[in-house]
Amino acid sequence: MSVSDNNFGKVAVLMGGASAERAISLMSGSGVLAALKSQGIDAHAFDPSQRDLGELKTDGFSRCFIALHGRFGEDGTVQGALELLGIPYTGPGVMASAIAIDKLMTKRIWRSAGLATPAWHEVDSAAGTRAAFEALGSPMIVKPAREGSTIGLTKVESLAQCDAAYALAAGHDALVLCEQFIAGDEVTCPVLGAGAGAHALPIVRIVAPDGNYDYENKYFNDLTEYLVPSGLPRAEEAAIEELVVQAYRVLGCRGWSRADVMIDAATRKPYLLEINTAPGMTGHSLVPMSARAAGIGYEALCVKLLASASLDHAGARHP
């Protein structure tokens, strides 16, 4: 379908925002904005931290591409506002977004659905973190439950590191997650579509320096290797693709998302870590990389995602 076949109207690319991931969001949004404009779409930048969301209605925007990351953009809050305004938006709806931003709630739902995710403890103190370390073993991941991009994350390898790891994570969120570390291959897999039509894009295997896929190695250097095709046996790829599509569906996601997975080196069993409902679209981002391997260029991907913009309650009346 060509752009001329679509009546997108005036499009807002929501970027920036007030989360700890503001800088990355501005990078993602700028890329999306340029891509949409290059396809003849009437697209405009819109920073919710600088403008009232009500202006989307008064300024005549007919749909939104959400390029916000983290809180106040990927957590159901903006999605809820857009539902009230009656403006279709990209990505999952209110409930799925709110659940997915909360790693603890996500893991509880996945576990209840029989989907594999690493063992975890929820903690509210440094003492609780030490107890979790004794239970989960070394190494252990300590991270805020409602942040992304490895912000506030520590890989703990000794009891002496627990207090500082808890303090760092708690500085970002009162809800702190201690998680069993799965040693093995790290992969990510995007999912597009909704319901029975949801499908996985090619898996990307991530090989970071010293196995440390942190904020710096994600966004600001070229030392991390991204392998697509992944080089994994096809049977393993198929199992991971099935797992991430199930994970996406059970949370009620639509539009697009990207699931992060660790493969246990000893058993080759894949474990779900988290799902991102507004993935990055920067030069280092993984969804565009995966899409290219499937024959979908960056501009085409942006248009495809924009075309999927919708509302949870499309038939409702709006002010």
Active-site residue list: 21, 149, 219, 258, 260, 274, 276, 280
Return d(Cα 300, Cα 295) in angstroms, integer. Answer: 10
**How wide is the angle at C-alpha 278 spanned by C-alphas 102 and 109, nearest 5°?**
35
Element (H, E) at 94: helix 94-101
Residue found under tokens 């390898």: 157
**3-state SS string for 287-310:** HHHHHHHCCCCHHHHHHHHHHCCE
**CA nearest to 13, candidates 41, 52, 50, 47:** 47
**CA nearest to 183, candidates 141, 234, 131:** 141
